[in-house]
Amino acid sequence: MPDSLTVTDNRTGRTYDLPIENGAVHATAFNAMQVTEDDHGLMVYDPAFLNTASCSSRITFIDGDRGILLYRGYPIEQLAEHSTFLETAYLLIHGELPSPSEAAAFEHDITIHTMVHENVKSFMDGFHHDAHPMAMLLSTVGALSTFYPESTNIYDEEQRRISINRLIAKMPTLAAFAYRHSRGLPYNYPDNDLSFAGNFLSMMFKMVEPRYQAVPEIEHALDVLFILHADHEQNCSTNAMRGVGSSHPDPYSATAAAIAALYGPLHGGANEAVVRMLTRIGTLDRLPEFIAGVKAGKERLMGFGHRVYKNFDPRGVVIKRMADQVLSVTGVSPFLQIARELEKIALEDEYFVSRRLYPNVDFYSGFIYQALGIPVEMFPVLFAIPRTAGWLSQWEESLLDNEQKIARPKQVYLGAATRDYTPMHERGVSRPQVLAS
């Protein structure tokens, strides 16, 4: 017997069999459940998509209970250990690990697109000196679409390839330019002899030396962080990328929308919040008071808990190991001891254990960025650089999916029924007073 769901609509007494495919019933199957012929059928109500699959995908798999994260089937731990960010980006976009010649060609294609048009510097210069780098990034990525009008040909495979390569390649350049602008420093051009992460560090930190050579451990740590952040299935920003992409704008505009979604403190900003929290705690002796405040519901322990991961965040495990490597080079962070003690207390405390709250990717990542000398306002930007590969692979998958259409959710309308317009002089005095107050 095929998998199915039998539903009785108690308003009419009619029974319906809905096929179950891949663990899901099709929401449109409920349309047939009408009370009268002219009603629009039953809807499913799911604010924030808590239990609604908006697409099928073959890119990223998460099993939150078992702490599993796979990109195209490969465990994140193995990619973090053996792969590079560029190879992982290729995997996300093309579905398979590259052969040696494919890897070399992809690296070449990304490298030759790292420069940005000189005009970008002019509009970057137009931002206020204290503009947030994430706001500068999202504006300049959106503006890239003005340089590449042919990128609107999204069903031309060649155009999609070029746009994807350009976006992955230019993101570190725009990110570093945003940082240099906020510091009042001259922009550094890309150095195409360096690795993806090494080039980014060079554009960020090169001063007067002829060539900036990052410390290998730091360059490696950044590359691993990029791998860990490259995709995370249907999160808020990926949903924005797919949703905006569904009306078929060019990919620069859709990516700008995804960056805007990532900018919000509920999404890309938690690592920044961890560092601010550790700074505020300041010393070990203040931990008990802080923990008591969290348990009393006064605030949250930032970097703990996850909507999906309820045992551990596999990315957090990799990052924790890396923190040691980074700090062995950069020197001990004043926050390491506080972070470790905080983690120890929380992992043993009944409040956190019973709620299944564990360190997530952000508990240590912000802290590593800080050890690398990256200012907190750049943390979400550091998230956007690698996530671009995930966004674009999801965007392309969505465009080529015959089941997808322009995203257009329904609503449950609770407003006024049809009523006639009342001329101003007939509306009485109470309503205008309310508006004026």
Position among 168, 275, 294, 338 found at the interface with ligand CMC (CB under 6 A): 294
At position 224, the amino acid (one-letter code) is V
Position among 172, 303, 366, 380 found at the interface with ligand CMC (CB under 6 A): 303
User: What b/e readout covers 253-277, taking b as 16+ CB neighbours within 10 angstroms?
Assistant: bbbbbbbbbbbeeeebbbbbbbbeb
Give the footprint of ligand CMC on residues 306-335 (CB under 6 A): 306-307
Cα separation, 127 vs 5, in Å, equals 56
306 noted as active-site residue: yes
355 binds ligand CMC (CB under 6 A): yes
Give the footprint of ligand CMC on residues 264-283 (CB under 6 A): 267, 270
By CB atoms closer than 10 A (0-12, 13-18, 19+), residue 315 is: buried
Q: Which stretch binds ligand CMC (CB under 6 A): 17-25, 200-208, 330-338, 352-360?
A: 352-360
14 binds ligand CMC (CB under 6 A): no
Half-sphere exposure of 169 (CA within 13 A, CB side): 24
The site for ligand CMC, by CB under 6 A, has a size of: 18
CA 300 to chain centre: 21
Q: Closest approach of Cβ 113 to ligand CMC, in Å?
A: 28
Q: Closest approach of Cβ 371 to ligand CMC, in Å?
A: 19
361 binds ligand CMC (CB under 6 A): yes
Nearest to 385 by CA among 169, 70, 88: 169
Task: Give all strands of the β-sheet with 4-9 in edge-to-edge order.
Answer: 4-9, 14-21, 24-25
Q: Closest approach of Cβ 95 to ligand CMC, in Å?
A: 23
Phi and psi at residue 356, to the nearest 5°: 55, 50
Dihedral, CA atoms, 141, 146, 151, 154, nearest 10 degrees?
80
128 noted as active-site residue: no
Position among 166, 170, 206, 232 found at the interface with ligand CMC (CB under 6 A): 232
Cα separation, 371 vs 333, in Å, equals 7
234 binds ligand CMC (CB under 6 A): no
Q: Which stretch binds ligand CMC (CB under 6 A): 79-87, 295-303, 334-342, 414-422?
A: 295-303
132 noted as active-site residue: no
- Active-site hit among 9, 132, 191, 267: 267
At position 348, the amino acid (one-letter code) is E
Could you list the beta-strand ranges (E) of 3-76: 4-9, 14-21, 24-25, 60-63, 68-71, 74-75
Position among 42, 214, 301, 378 found at the interface with ligand CMC (CB under 6 A): 301
305 binds ligand CMC (CB under 6 A): yes
Q: For ligand CMC, give the closer residue by CB, 110 or 274.
A: 274
Tell me the sheet residues that pair with 24: 21
Position among 87, 109, 362, 377 found at the interface with ligand CMC (CB under 6 A): 362
- Active-site hit among 362, 401, 420, 425: 362
- Active-site hit among 306, 349, 401, 425: 306
Q: Closest approach of Cβ 364 to ligand CMC, in Å?
A: 11
Cα separation, 222 vs 290, in Å, equals 31
Binding interface with ligand CMC (CB under 6 A): 232, 235, 267, 270, 294, 300-307, 355, 357, 360-362
Supply the residues annotated as catalytic. 267, 306, 362
